[in-house]
């Protein structure tokens, strides 16, 4: 997914967000593999529920990560840029797209009892694939553009405040 990590050394809060990306990407690959497996199966019912549990756990971790970025990092960065538009707006739009696709998958698989038609399963797997595709480029943008920008623009006080709020040293 990532081609080359940014060689820049990040401050502890940005490093933590970057490390979260690494963990999330491992889960992402596992979800993609499970989705691919289901798409190739004639009988998919017994594999769909474990995939749903996996996606639910992944979504909770991912949404917590998004929350840290959106409520802690992005406001500080927007203050330095004197705008909430540009790269921050693009990243937040991608967050919304990812949330939409994952929530759609989870909502439509919540009441299932193995009775989803094959066409609906394929549609739900599309939402997973779409979320994963967006995330691959999304993490790359954050690590190669947004985090280096934050590292450069945030002053020592902002970085310290961010570290304290994120409980990182």
Give the chain's domains with CATH numbers. 12-165 (1.20.120.520)
User: Is residue 113 helix, strand or coil?
Assistant: coil
89, 97 contact by CB (below 8 A):
no
pTM of the model: 0.88
Give the pLDDT confidence of 34-45 residue by residue, as tens digits: 988 887 776 777
Those residues with Cβ within 8 angstroms of residue 166's Cβ, 6 or more apart along the chain or in another chain = 13, 16, 68, 72
CA–CA separation, 122 and 38 (whole Å):
9
Can you list the alpha helix ranges (DSSP code H) found in 41-86? 45-68, 74-81
How does residue 93 score in pLDDT terms, banded at 50, 70 and 90? Answer: very high
69, 17 contact by CB (below 8 A):
yes
Q: How far is CA 136 from CA 37, 78, 143, in A?
A: 20, 24, 11
For residues 139-149, average pLDDT:
94
How does residue 2 score in pLDDT terms, banded at 50, 70 and 90? Answer: very low
Can you list the alpha helix ranges (DSSP code H) found in the chain? 12-40, 45-68, 74-81, 87-110, 118-141, 147-153, 156-165
User: How many other β-carbons are positioned within 10 Å of the β-carbon of residue 52?
Assistant: 17
Flag whether pLDDT at 3 surpasses 60: no
Look at residue 160 in the predicted model and tell me its pLDDT.
95
Look at residue 8 in the predicted model and tell me its pLDDT.
64
How does residue 80 score in pLDDT terms, banded at 50, 70 and 90? Answer: confident
Look at residue 84 in the predicted model and tell me its pLDDT.
67
Flag whether pLDDT at 76 surpasses 70: yes
How does residue 99 score in pLDDT terms, banded at 50, 70 and 90? Answer: very high
For residues 133-138, average pLDDT:
94
Q: Average per-residue pLDDT in the chain?
A: 89
């Amino acid at each position: 997914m990532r081609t080359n990590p940014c060689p820049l050394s990040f401050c502890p809060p940005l490093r933590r967000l970057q490390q979260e990306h690494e963990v999330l990407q491992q889960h992402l690959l596992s979800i993609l593999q499970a989705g691919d497996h289901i798409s190739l199966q004639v009988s998919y019912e017994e594999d769909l529920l474990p995939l749903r549990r996996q996606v639910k756990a992944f979504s909770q971790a991912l949404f917590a990560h998004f929350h840290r970025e959106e409520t802690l990092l992005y406001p500080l960065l927007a203050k330095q840029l004197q705008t909430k538009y540009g790269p921050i707006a693009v990243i937040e739009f991608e967050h919304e797209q990812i949330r939409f696709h994952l929530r759609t998958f989870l909502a439509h698989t919540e009441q299932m009892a193995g009775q989803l038609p094959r066409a609906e399963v394929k549609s739900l797997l599309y939402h997973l694939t779409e979320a994963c595709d967006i995330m691959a480029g999304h993490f790359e943008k954050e690590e190669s553009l947004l985090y280096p920008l934050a590292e450069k623009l945030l002053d020592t006080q902002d970085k310290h405040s961010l570290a304290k709020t994120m409980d990182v040293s």
